[in-house]
Chains A and B, each alone.
Chain A
Amino acid sequence: LSIYLSLSLSLSLSLSLIYIIRTLHSPRKFDCRSREKETFSCWWEPGSDGGLPTEYRLFYTQERLREVRECPDYVSAGANSCFFDKKHTSIWAEYTMTVVATNALGNASEEFRITDVMEYVKPDPPVNVTVVVNSSAPSPFLEIRWKSPPDVDVRTGWVTLKYELRVKQNDNIGSETFFNFYNVYPGLLYMVQVRCKLDHGKWSEWSNTIFAEIPKNHQLEKYFWIFVFVFSLVPFLMAMYIVLLKRNAVKQCLLPPVPGPKIKGLNAHLLKSGRSEDVVNALMGNQNFPPVAAWTEQVEDFLLVSDSDEWLLTDSFASEKNKDIFIIPAGLHLGLEIQRRDLSVDLNTWEKTDDSKEEAKSNFSNMEPINLPVEKHEFLNGEEKSIQPLASTSYVDIQQHPTLTDYSRVKEVNDNTILILNEEEIPHGLDAEEVKSEVSVPDDYSRVKEVNSDVVFLEKGDSADGCCKKKEDHYTDWTNQKPIMPLESELSKGFCLKMIASGYVDSGPAFSVK
């Protein structure tokens, strides 16, 4: 039995030792906060309570109040808290708080002292933070606006709110609710936050972050393009200036003269009527064309017409190749007094100046220049020919004898003049062998290069085509009328006179226009 008793005793002792010692600790950590200098809340952290349900109560005394009061509101500020509303809040007054924890294990209390509620003032962050990028000159900036926290009463002067701005750097604002932030760069993204401090208490938390982006500044790009433009303009202007100086050469290169089949004196209306006979007659007059020998060769033809022997061939001329003698119909014989004139003007210069033509005109003392549309009389073939311009045109119709059996032989042709050998009759179609000189008499016709109002110009050229093609710009000077396209095909077949310096050569049928 004693053994049983001792065993149970030791067992009960040990069992009592196993009991968990539970104690109640007083609450720890006391903190308070006032948002607007009108109310405040305090929180405590409960100590260990042994796992038992514990009740906490807060009692306080104020500096001036002798009585002890209990917390007016345990609920509004959350668990383990006490909320002091406006009636129970005194600024600049000391509070002595006593928090008492009670449970089955007993009581535990702790005293906390609040020297001044102002020490715990911490407002809410500002609200309605807006950021607007203001792109006005001279440089863009951020327009930042916000509102004071909703609880704080700023209208009475009881509280003074000061703000602080954070845009990647802190800016202390003072009491305004807006700020213009100028330290921005184009193309960058900025974050803005605002916080506030009540009187000289603690800073509130930072408000929500607002983002703003500065638009890219295209001004630098503008300057760049202006720079490029100016620097490319200078060579361009220089090129234009050079082109302007050499415009003639450029013109020649880029815009070769287009042959325009213009015949002075041609009646456009006549052409429009469409009757080819009318057109042909208009151009050539009522002539009976001699039978045309086959135009075989392209030959370079010269024609020298002169009334004197002095114009006979010089050596220089004789040595030239491609001399041909043209059978000039008798009707063409120029009994005119062709003034001898040494027109040493190059063919090349013909094209350039019209003055040479004027010279030629002026040298015809025996001839009245035919000024279109005036009707003039021309002396051709020693006979007076009436040259009747067409009705409404300035075209000169040179009549000829129907028979063109009289030919004059061309003695010599140089650049400018055509020598007519004599008036001997040369049978039509004579061949070249009968020519004494080296010149041969082809049975083809001279080609008229150009006819203007006064003078028929015959020209030396390499070939028919060549002569017709060369110096084509002359043809454009013929008339101010439209080029006669339908005629071109008919007339250009074989008749291409060469240019002579003076006098007229009636090559017969046509003034070829090409």
Chain B
Amino acid sequence: PSRRTEILNMHLEPQRNVVYLVAMCRAVPVNDLLDRASQRSDKMHSLSTLLTQEMDSHFPPYGRMQMPRPADCHTSALQTPNDKEQALQVSESDLMSLARSLLQAWVDPLAVLSTSAITLPHPSKSSISSKIQELQEHSKSLGDGLDILSGKMGPSAQAISFLPYTGGTDLGQDRVTILNKFNFLLSCLRRDSHKIDSFLKVLRCRAAKLQPELC
């Protein structure tokens, strides 16, 4: 089925040929998969941070008060742990579910950002556009990998909260609105990518109790 082919085409592994053989011969251990997943999420968070910095370098925040609040992010409804104690108390399945939900929620917005970046009234739009495309690729492969992982962790890990994006395909008409919306979306993305990264790294550390060097 398509799932199996997706497994074989997983972009998490550096060499697909190796994955082919490995997947057919034996299963990749969960620790290893989590490690690769967290590497991917770290890359995503890094890209989103660079994006916001690149936007700010030329376009200062349009007055912090006028900007949409983070509470207005389309993923803010999702209840997530907000400090270390809370995060350590959440079960592995729930953490996985949260990460997957957030990741899934950004598939559509990333597409919108990608199309808008091409015509963005910003001097660094080509660099921004390439970063967003890279983000999309990472997001896709991470999603596939987390699907496999969640399959090993039980049904509660496979549940995904539905967080629809309702911003539409058009960011605005005038330059200021477009830039503002772009900025706002990037800030939401930065926050959510950081959440995904943190949850996966906590998961990785918990799964690797026998290998202290990972934590």
Contact = CB atoms under 8 A, between A and B. Distances in A.
A208 interface: no
A417 B61 CA distance: 133
Contacts of A90: 82-83
Nearest to B42: A160
A37 B197 CA distance: 14
Interface in A38-66: 38, 63
Nearest to B205: A157
Given A158-B198, A200-B46, A116 B84 contact: no
A115 interface: yes
> Which of A63, A113, A160, A200 neighbours the largest number of chain B CB atoms within 10 Å of its CB?
A200
Given A92-B195, A113-B64, A118-B194, A156 B88 contact: yes
B82 A92 contact: yes
A86 interface: yes
A158 B71 contact: no
B187 to A, nearest CB: 7
B204 interface: yes
Interface in A71-100: 86, 89-94
B87 to A, nearest CB: 6
B87 A158 contact: yes
Interface residues of A, number: 23
Contacts of B189: none
B28 interface: no
A115 B215 contact: no
B45 interface: yes
Contacts of A93: 70, 82
B148 interface: no
B174 interface: no
B83 A94 contact: no
Contact of A158 (B69, B76, B80, B88): B88
Nearest to B202: A157
B49 interface: yes
A199 B194 contact: yes
B65 interface: yes
B122 interface: no
B75 to A, nearest CB: 10
B84 A86 contact: yes
B140 interface: no
B113 to A, nearest CB: 19
B84 A199 contact: no
A319 to B, nearest CB: 112
A199 B190 CA distance: 12
Contacts of A157: 201-206, 215
A153 to B, nearest CB: 7
Contact of B71 (A37, A94, A156, A200): A94
> Which of B42, B70, B80, B197 neighbours the largest number of chain A CB atoms within 10 Å of its CB?
B70
A92 B80 contact: yes
A91 B206 contact: no
B49 A158 contact: no
B45 A63 contact: no
Contacts of A244: none
Interface string A30-41: 000000011000
B83 A156 contact: no
Chain A interface, >50% SS class: loop
B205 A156 contact: yes
Interface in B155-190: 187
Given A160-B201, A199-B45, A200-B46, A86 B83 contact: yes
A154 interface: yes
Contacts of B65: 113
Contact of A199 (B70, B88, B197, B204): B197
Chain B interface, >50% SS class: helix
Contacts of A153: 84
Contacts of A37: 84
Contacts of A86: 83-85
A38 B84 contact: yes
B191 interface: yes
A69 to B, nearest CB: 15
Nearest to A86: B83
> Which of B84, B187, B194 neighbours the largest number of chain A CB atoms within 10 Å of its CB?
B84
A113 B68 CA distance: 12
A160 B203 CA distance: 13
A155 interface: yes
A94 B188 CA distance: 12
Nearest to B206: A157
A154 B215 contact: yes
Contacts of B194: 92, 118, 199-200
Contacts of B88: 156, 158
Contacts of B49: 200
> Which of A93, A116, A153, A157 neighbours the largest number of chain B CB atoms within 10 Å of its CB?
A157
A280 B187 CA distance: 129
Contact of B83 (A89, A116, A155): A89
A200 B87 contact: no
Interface string A149-164: 0000111111010000
Contacts of A116: 70, 191
Contacts of B85: 86
B196 to A, nearest CB: 11
B84 A158 contact: yes
7 contacts: A37-B84, A90-B83, A93-B82, A94-B69, A157-B203, A158-B198, A199-B45
Closest 5 CB pairs of A and B: A157-B205, A90-B82, A157-B202, A157-B201, A158-B84
Given A92-B195, A158-B87, 9 more contacts: A63-B70, A92-B191, A154-B215, A157-B203, A157-B215, A158-B84, A158-B88, A158-B198, A200-B46
